[in-house]
Structure 1
Amino acid sequence: MKISRSLLQALQRLLGKENVQTDELSLQLNSYDCSQSRHRPDAVVKVTDTAVLPALVRLLAQAKVPFIARAAATNHAGSCAAVQGGVVINVNALDQIYQIHPQQGYADVAPGVVTAQLQAQLQPLGFFYAPDPASEAVCTLGGNLAQNASGARCMKYGNTADNTLQADLVTPQGYCLSLRHDAPGPDWLGLLAGSEGTLGLIQKMRIKILPQPKQVKTFLTTFDSLENAVQTVSDLAAQGLIPRCVEAMDQTTTRAVEDFAHAGYPTEAQALLILELDGTRQQIARDEKLLQALCQARGCQSFTAAQNEEEREKLWRGRRAAYSAMAALAPSVAVGDGTVPRSELAQTLRQVRRILDRYGVRASLLFHAGDGNFHPQIIFDSRNKEQTHRVSKALQEILKACIDHGGTLSGEHGVGIEKRAVMAYQYSRETLHLMGQIKKALDPDNLANPGKILPVGLEGKVTLQEEDHPEVLRLAGEIKRRAGQREKIRVTGTRTQWKTATAADVSARSLNRILDIDKTNYTATVQAGVKVQELLLALKQQGVYAPLPPDYPGTLGGLISQKRCPQLTPCLTGLQVIVPNGDIIDYGGKLMKNAAGYNLCRLFTGACGTLGLITHVTFKIYAKPVEAQLLPWVWPTRENDPWLRAVQDRLDPQHLFLVEENA
């Protein structure tokens, strides 16, 4: 694609001639990120005021020119490479921290604010921003949301989606939307997180800030094997202990870091864990005893605590330097991002090592181990085609191994270009088709960061859908039959307000089983027709808890589809749903995080059955009681929600799904 002279002139009038670049150097400098992808744009524009973003996008949309938002470009998947040419929109200059409201617990920021810059301003106020990507010194808050980044503190405090209260978005058509988790209808803000710029440009964010804990204590523990180190993490979860951070490294990593950053890591150990607790002095003292006992039970060689803030910062400086340390050893570094259920970490690790050995490549292994998310960092020389090919094959096999162990190809780095093919290994044809329909509904001209996330050429590659529960198959068959005959479908719940039953009724009431309570991974999988009060009792009998309101008399599916419990939404890690054409969609599972594709848990939370019938869900459970609030139900309306209207029209073009407004 080439940019027309008339469009270039219009861009120059809008942004200033000095902010529109088409020289070869500028195009080459904006053709890559931290991945191996290289795609040259046709122009680069620098935006210095968020107010011009809508007009800029409208100009590009009218000309049908693709656009790609770019800031620090620290992602590892080619997410901001201009795969179809077009215009790179550089937002680095949008670095304003508008307001910080400690008493209200939020800050208003522009998308180009560097994460560490915000942390530095919060620190004197006694507050902090929970997500802490290792690249915090350069990565931006808008980029964090686009990739749904997390970092070491994710196990306790969640990812960027969980810590973003609102995002003002410029859609691919150039109009403005304000997305909030608590707005009626689907959790569009949750869907935006991790969408990699394919649904629009982030104009402004309101992020959650937290008071700094009364005390933080950091520990360095060494082990004779990486398997024992990561197995300790599963033991922590099984005991219900949730540290502030749990990071693991193998010996290759620690030796590279020591040579590069001199963090004080013992290089003779095969593996180490950096563990951190926060809270009151009494809480930390109690948790430290359990932490040390669990490490010793796995044969730890040493268990030491940082004695002061300087020692603590030195340990973390080493962890943050891990990528740079490996980059100092070779011209190129390829970084993987697979995530598995915590109970599968040790077994997956053994398979990963076999893959690395088979392809003859050298890699360091480091983990956000508390979340089952690990990053193999393979060093090589990208100028060597044969070597590059082996690295690419090894990474693909590693990601497939993660999927085989119930995991995902990405926990926080996203899909971009480089992992698109593996999406067809992770998801069924039906699930990928749904993700494609979301993109088409919200960006019909395919202008916002096109060519990302979704695989190309599915025939013969896509994962086959597994056989399902007979009742789910019956319901799917009934919905498919009615869709084919254009019959209306009325979705009802256990507390239906309809006065009479009709042949059009479809309900998950018959799906009323608790499928699994997993106290190793601390997840539960439950059919949608199970009543919340019965579920709470069953969990309590197992000594575990979930953020479920005890005063809600309906079913779990109803609670989620109505989005009446805000504490439950971020705990959802997987779901199955039957969409209006009768397809069965499976997404996620026993994963603490999943950045592979659009977050379908967030799409169907709050949709009130307008987009499909939820059949079962997987969610996090806890060893201690957790807060649960029951909110009034607000019915979502098509007139007030353009995204709901667009997605409904795409998934249910005949408008066959009827939903009761007082369920």
Structure 2
Amino acid sequence: MKIPSAALKKLKQAAGEENVLTDAVSLSLYAYDCSLSRTRPDALINVPNQKAVAPILRILQEYAVPFVPRASATNHAGSCAALNGGAVLNLTRLNRILQINTQEGFAVVEPGAVGGDLQDALAPLGFFYAPDPASERVCTLGGNLAQNASGARCMKYGGTIDHVLEADFILPDGRPLHFSRRDGGPDFIGLLAGSEGTLGVITRMKVKILPAAKHIKTFLVTFPSLAHSVQTVSDLAAKGVIPRCVEAMDQNTTRAVEEFARSGYPADAQALLILELDGTPAQIASDEKQLEEICLKNQALKFIPAKNEAERQKLWFGRRAAYAAMARLAPNVMVGDGTVPRSELPRALAKVRRILDDNNIYASLLFHAGDGNFHPQIVFDERNKPDAVRVTRALKEILQACVDCGGTISGEHGVGVEKRAVMAYQYDKPTLDLFTRIKRAADPKNIANPLKLIPLAYAEKARPQQPLSAAAQQLADNIRTRREARVPCTVTGANTRLKTAAEHPLSARPLNQILDIDKTNYTVTAGAGVTLAELAQALGRENVYSILPEKGKGTLGGAFASGCLPGFYPHVLGVEALLPDGSYVRYGGKLMKNAAGYNLARLFAGSQGTLGLVTQLTFKIFAKPVPKAPELPFQPAPANALWRAVKAQLDPEDLFPPLTGGARV
């Protein structure tokens, strides 16, 4: 859209005249990211400081000018393309590391701070920041949260979503919000993770930092096939060995990397793993023994430990150079980002290879094997239009194959515009409707990075919804009946945390089945009405462990929705829930990462029965005992502006009231 001259005048007053640019060169330079999307904005605003963000957004809101928050633009999904024109907000000047506190284990940063710069600042202090995207020397910490980026260490330490403690955030209308993991209520930091700037602008983050491992050992292992390498990863999980990193490459990748980076990768290997252990010397020695045994059982050809730090860094330099190595082979590289349950990796990779062969496409495969997240890197020349069309079609088929294998179209790169249409292949209409309502709640004028994430005209294209269980269907009918009669739906399970004296509460106790204990993917799927005691007994019989208290009271749904066990949130991989209108939504599953759409697991975590009724959860379990999540006292949480807006979208009649007093939502 053309920005009105009156708006440009006000923007120059708010940001400084020199920081609002409309010349052709500036607009062209900010018309693309690492995807194929090319769309020029109508203005570039170099945001000078944090204080300028809210006034700028208020002006854009006043004139209904769309905007795209942007920093290094290293994403591969078209998230930074200004599809409706408008303004690009360049946040790269907000790049300060404001505070490092090693005693309490946190750093405070601006969104434009580069991840590698934070690592450099922490290293002399004996600390590190766990998320490590391959592009950390370029990508920014705010962008990492917006895309929910992760990296090689995700299997052991988790992604960006798990390491942000607080965030300052500006809604599209200019209202500032502060989110903290110490707050009650939904995990809004988790909701921001992967939101791609569609809900507002991140202006400051407090991130968790960890003491650097004093002992690290890295291994290069080669295999006769990718199938052998990924089976090794499943076997490691079954033995309870959780490496610091597990990275896999096929032969196309290793050959390209070796020609470029000279990292010592055997060019004749059909597949290789880079495995890394950290911990005490005794822990490493014990894990190394099991590691070697499992690799050899899976026909490993070479098992080579790095002899020193220089060799270790050389191995990792090659992995980080994989994209650059492929970029030398053709003018363009299209990068995929599918994730499947670990058990489905062999089947998914076979499908991918068949798609590439059928389309006569040259590509490399590399992946975070421990998370089931793989990246096909397809080389081509976009100037050859038939070639570009063929590659785009093949990538769509690859993403659909991931969904067919129980996976997702994005593990860490996001959706943007490049994968937007395939969202309808992954999600059913009620779930896409919920994404739309979340967007509308935060951004009613649809100016914050519009036309991203949510597919257009999805009603007829969306995946058909699977039937509900008999118990869930009965609850859905009950909710609709109550809604028609304007009868409140006070949600409860065993009534141990969300205590209520309501005469006719809406109880999740009928949802009392443990549906699956999967010792291949190390997940459990259970109804929200299962008690923690029942769950502990079932896990004990299978000799597996969870972070939930073994002698805890109440139900699984209560532990999740009450806000009393926030340490459980990062372990929840999938959620199903009934909304206040009786519709049913499904998100996630047996996959370790999902960056496709708004994170509904984090929205319902701690929601205290105000946004609907959680019916089912899928969460991680372990082969060895793990520390239990500490339980906090139930505390009604005061609602922030975003919670109120989401609540109004989902429950306009306010029939799902907050419990035990506290501020009305």
TM class by shorter chain equals: over 0.9
Q: State how far apart, in whole Å, the 2-side matches of 1:238 and 1:392 are.
A: 37
Task: Quote the offset at 1:662 in angstroms.
Answer: 7.8
Q: In structure 2, how many angstroms separate the alpha carbons of the residues matched to 1:612 and 1:654?
A: 13
Give the superposition deviation at 1:500: 6.4
**Aligned residues of 1:492 and 1:659 also touching (Cα < 8 A):** no
Q: Is the 8 A contact 2:490 2:609 kept in 1?
A: no
> Which residue of structure 1 aligns with residue 54 of structure 2?
54
| 1:567 alignment partner, SS class | helix
Q: Which amino acid in the other structure matches residue 384 of structure 2?
A: N
Deviation at 1:61, TM superposition (A): 1.0
Distance 1:270 1:652, change over 3 A: same
- AA in 2 matched with 1:138: V
Structure 2 partner of 1:317 = 317
- Give me the whole-angstrom Cα distance separating, in 2, the residues matched to 1:550 and 1:235: 26
The corresponding residue for 1:224 is 224
Residue pairs, 1:182-221, within 5 angstroms: 182-221=182-221
User: How far apart are residue 5 of structure 1 and its match?
Assistant: 1.4
* Corresponding residue for residue 406 of structure 1: 406
Q: Which runs of 5+ in 2 are unaligned?
A: none
| Amino acid corresponding to residue 255 of structure 2 in structure 1 | R
Q: Deviations over 1:344-388 (max 9, x none)?
A: 001110110000011111100000011000000000000111011
Map Cα deviations across residues 565-617 of structure 1 (whole Å, 9 max, x no partner).
12210000001100001011111000101000000000001111110101110
Distance 1:175 1:660, change over 3 A: closer
What is the CA deviation profile of residues 230-277 of structure 1, one whole-angstrom value per residue up to 9, with x for unaligned ones? 111111112221100000000000010011111111001111000000
Distance 1:379 1:266 in 2: 22
- Give runs of aligned pairs for residues 1-400 of structure 1, distance below 5 A: 1-400=1-400
Residue 440 of structure 1 is matched in structure 2 by 440
Distance in 2 between residues matched to 1:637 and 1:135, nearest whole Å: 38
User: Distance in 2 between the 1:481 and 1:495 partners?
Assistant: 23
Aligned residue number for residue 644 of structure 1 = 643
1:450 paired with 2:462, answer no
- Taking the aligned partners of 1:44 and 1:619, their CA distance within structure 2 comes to 43
* Mapped partners of 1:121, 1:174: distance in 2: 32
- Equivalent-residue separation in structure 1 for 2:327 and 2:569 (angstroms): 38
The letter of the residue matching 2:643 is L
Give the deviation of 1:180 after TM superposition. Answer: 1.6
Task: Name the CA distance, whole Å, in 2 between partners of 1:5 and 1:436.
Answer: 31
State the distance in 1 between where 2:288 and 2:306 align. Answer: 13
Q: Which amino acid aligns with 1:419?
A: K
**Contact preservation (8 Å) 1:492, 1:660:** no
Contact map agreement 2:514 2:530 (CA 8 A) in 1: yes
Q: Is the 8 A contact 2:66 2:448 kept in 1?
A: yes
Look up the equivalent residue of 1:599 and give its one-letter code: N
Q: CA deviation at 1:498?
A: 4.2
Farther off after superposition, 471-480 or 370-379: 471-480
Q: Distance in 2 between matches of 1:449 and 1:521?
A: 36
Q: Distance in 2 between matches of 1:182 and 1:539?
A: 30
- Shift in Å, 1:493: 2.3
- The separation in 2 between residues aligned to 1:19 and 1:499, in whole angstroms, is 58
Q: Structure 1 stretch 491-500 or stretch 426-435: which is displaced more?
A: 491-500
Indicate if the aligned counterparts of 1:563 and 1:569 stay in contact, CA closer than 8 A. no
Distance 1:605 1:390 in 2: 41
Equivalent residues in 2 for 1:553-572 (5 A)? Answer: 553-572=553-572
Distance (whole Å) between structure 2 residues aligned to residue 111 and residue 373 of structure 1? 26
- Residue 490 of structure 2 contacts residue 502 of structure 2 at CA under 8 Å; is this kept in 1? no
Cα displacement (A) at 1:469: 1.0
Contact 1:549 1:565 in 2 (8 A): no
* Cα deviations by residue, 1:314-363 (Å, 9 ceiling, x for unpaired): 00000000001101100001000000000000111011000001111110
Q: Give the equivalent residue in structure 2 for 1:634.
A: 635
**Separation in 1, partners of 2:372, 2:72:** 26
- For 1:528, the aligned partner's letter is A
The size of the alignment, in residue pairs, is: 659
2-structure distance, mates of 1:466, 1:275: 39
4+ residue stretches of structure 1 with deviation over 4 A? 496-500
TM-score normalized with structure 2 length: 0.98
Aligned equivalents of 1:560, 1:380: Cα separation in 2: 46
Q: 2:636 is aligned with what amino acid? A: W
Distance 2:552 2:238 in 1: 28
Q: Report the RMSD for the aligned CA atoms in angstroms.
A: 1.3
Q: CA deviation at 1:486?
A: 3.1
How far apart are residue 518 of structure 1 and its match?
Answer: 0.8
> In structure 2, do the counterparts of structure 1 residues 500 and 656 end up closer, same or farther at CA, with 3 Å as the change threshold?
closer
Using the aligned pairs only, state the percent identity: 57
State the TM-score, normalized to the length of structure 1.
Answer: 0.98
- State the partner residue of 2:652: 653
Task: Say whether the 8 Å CA contact 1:115–1:138 is kept in structure 2.
Answer: yes
Partners in 1 of 2:219 and 2:188 — Cα distance?
A: 39
* Alpha-carbon separation, structure 2, partners of 1:173 and 1:551: 46
CA pair 662-18 structure 1, distance change in 2 beyond 3 A: closer
Deviates more, 1:47-56 or 1:32-41: 47-56
Letter in 2 for 1:305: P
> 2:636, 2:659 within 8 Å by CA — same for their partners in 1?
no
What is the alpha-carbon distance in structure 1 between the residues aligned to residue 368 and residue 68 of structure 2? 29
1:523 pairs with 2:523: yes
In 2, Cα distance between the equivalents of 1:423 and 1:349? 21
In structure 2, what is the Cα distance between the partners aligned to 1:260 and 1:528? 52
Q: What is aligned with 1:594? A: 594
**Structure 1 counterpart of 2:133, which letter?**
P
Q: Give deviations 1:448-472, integer Å, cap 9, x for gaps.
A: 1111000001143110001121111
Alpha-carbon displacement from aligned partner over 1:159-182 (angstroms, at most 9, x marks no partner): 001011011001111011111223
Matched residues in 1 for 2:380 and 2:236: separation? 35
Please say if residues 223 and 302 of structure 1, whose CA atoms lie closer than 8 Å, have aligned partners that are also in contact: yes
| Distance in 1, Cα, partners of 2:369 & 2:129 | 21
Tell me which amino acid in the other structure corresponds to 2:632.
Answer: L
Aligned residues of 1:491 and 1:659 also touching (Cα < 8 A): no
Residue 533 of structure 1: SS of its match in structure 2? helix
Question: Which segment drifts farther, 181-190 or 244-253?
Answer: 181-190
